[in-house]
């Protein structure tokens, strides 16, 4: 297909405005701000190894993890793009202790109705070794009164309340994949033009898959249900053993599994009794995408999107991917539920 016939991300956003129940154009402007920020981050990621932007920044984030220089830079880029374009009333980032209240007017003269939760650079420790990283974002309508400062409860919403979510993967090609609750679509960046084009329409998880993604180095610490499921994956049967593929970057592992069919697991273990992934910045947006693409996402027992958040940086175990594979993992987890 000739490139000029491809639909750009900007055109797609405008064409699909009517799919969204609030057709003020504000959400479209918000998604456009994320598109712009992703291109700036992509440029910086591609300079890693040339510019002095790899390695540790010398800081730790709220979770006590060492921040990479690109973590800090990506965080600043997304916060600036979202706040200066007057499209959100609040931002919460995995890299910040607290949420940010944005005091600004939206284009129609009323204060913005949306809050964004973001993991600016997921898998950033992989930058030093030139492995794919990503950005994850989640968008909600505020629940407090418009025109007043945002409050914590605007961010502590169940995942079912998301109005949009997505990720950017900075890999061999750069892609934005997102949903507004009407399916999942992927757009690939043409670096020569600086434009995203629709390349993966109506993305779907295969109902069954043959890939399992988990850090097996922690096997001895896993719950018995996870251990038993891994043995099931490795057993010689007509449709098994499955293939183990683990990049260590949630965006990259999720993206591969959605295209090829598979399950991603980050369970609880002795050093992380609640798991490691953050409900608001990683699990909720990925669960929304998974369900919109015909997949499934749980904590081993409960639907991720139904979990009531209690804090900004809350962690949960995460089982996500092809529906049949997640259901089978849940069977093993339920069989060993304490």
For the chain, which domains are there?
3-200 (3.30.540.10), 211-335 (3.40.190.80)
Residue 123 annotated in ligand binding: yes
> Which long-range CB contacts under 8 A does 20-25 form with residues at least 24 apart?
20/163, 20/180, 20/181, 22/113, 22/141, 22/163, 24/108, 25/107, 25/108
3-state secondary structure of 76: helix
Provide the 8-state DSSP code for 51.
B
The yes-or-no verdict on residue 107 having pLDDT over 50 is no
- The per-residue pLDDT for 5 is 74
pLDDT mean over 16-37:
79
> Where residue 21 falls among pLDDT bands split at 50, 70, 90?
low
Binding residue per annotation — 94?
Answer: yes
Q: CA-CA distance, 327 to 323, in Å (whole number)?
A: 6
| 297-335 pLDDT tens trace | 999 999 999 999 999 999 999 999 999 999 999 999 998
122 labelled binding-site residue = yes
Question: Is 124 among the annotated ligand-binding positions?
Answer: yes
Q: What is the 3-state secondary structure of 247-274?
A: CCCHHHHHHHHHHHCEEEEECCECCECC
Is residue 215 annotated as involved in ligand binding? yes
Calpha distance 255→176 (Å, rounded):
11
pLDDT digits (tens, 9 = 90+) for 182-227: 999 999 999 999 999 999 999 999 999 999 999 999 999 999 999 9
| Those residues with Cβ within 8 angstroms of residue 110's Cβ, 6 or more apart along the chain or in another chain | 146, 147
- Residue 121: strand, helix, or coil: strand
Mean per-residue pLDDT of the chain = 88
Closest C-alpha to 200, from 5, 7, 2: 7
């Amino acid at each position: 297909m000739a490139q000029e016939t491809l639909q750009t991300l900007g055109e797609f956003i405008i064409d699909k405005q009517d799919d969204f129940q609030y057709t003020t154009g504000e959400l479209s402007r918000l998604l456009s701000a994320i598109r712009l920020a992703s291109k700036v981050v992509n440029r910086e990621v591609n300079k890693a190894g040339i510019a002095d932007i790899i390695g540790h920044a010398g800081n730790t984030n709220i979770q006590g993890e060492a921040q990479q220089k690109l973590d800090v830079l990506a965080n600043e880029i997304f916060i600036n793009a979202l706040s200066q374009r007057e499209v959100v009333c609040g931002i919460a980032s995995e890299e910040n202790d607290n949420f940010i209240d944005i005091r600004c007017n939206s284009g129609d003269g009323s204060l913005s109705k949306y809050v964004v939760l973001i993991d600016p650079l997921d898998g950033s420790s992989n930058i030093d070794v030139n492995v794919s990283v990503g950005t994850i974002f989640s968008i909600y309508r505020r629940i407090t009164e418009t025109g007043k400062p945002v409050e914590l409860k605007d961010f502590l919403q169940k995942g079912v309340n998301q109005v949009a979510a997505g990720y950017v993967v900075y890999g061999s090609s750069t892609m934005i994949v997102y949903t507004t609750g009407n399916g999942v679509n992927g757009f690939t960046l043409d670096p020569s033009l600086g434009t995203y084009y629709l390349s993966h329409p109506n993305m779907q998880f295969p109902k069954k898959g043959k890939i399992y993604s988990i850090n097996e180095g922690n096997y001895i610490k896993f719950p018995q249900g996870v251990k038993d499921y891994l043995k099931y994956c490795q057993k010689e049967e007509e449709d098994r053993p499955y293939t183990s593929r683990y990049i260590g970057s949630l965006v990259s592992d999720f993206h591969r599994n959605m295209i090829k069919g598979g399950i991603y697991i980050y369970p609880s273990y002795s050093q992380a009794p609640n798991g490691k992934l953050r409900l608001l910045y990683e699990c909720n947006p990925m669960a929304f995408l998974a369900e919109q693409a015909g997949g499934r996402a749980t904590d081993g027992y409960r639907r991720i999107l139904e979990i009531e958040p209690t804090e900004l940086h809350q962690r949960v175990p995460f089982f996500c991917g092809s529906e049949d594979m997640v259901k089978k993992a849940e069977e093993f987890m339920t069989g060993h539920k304490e």
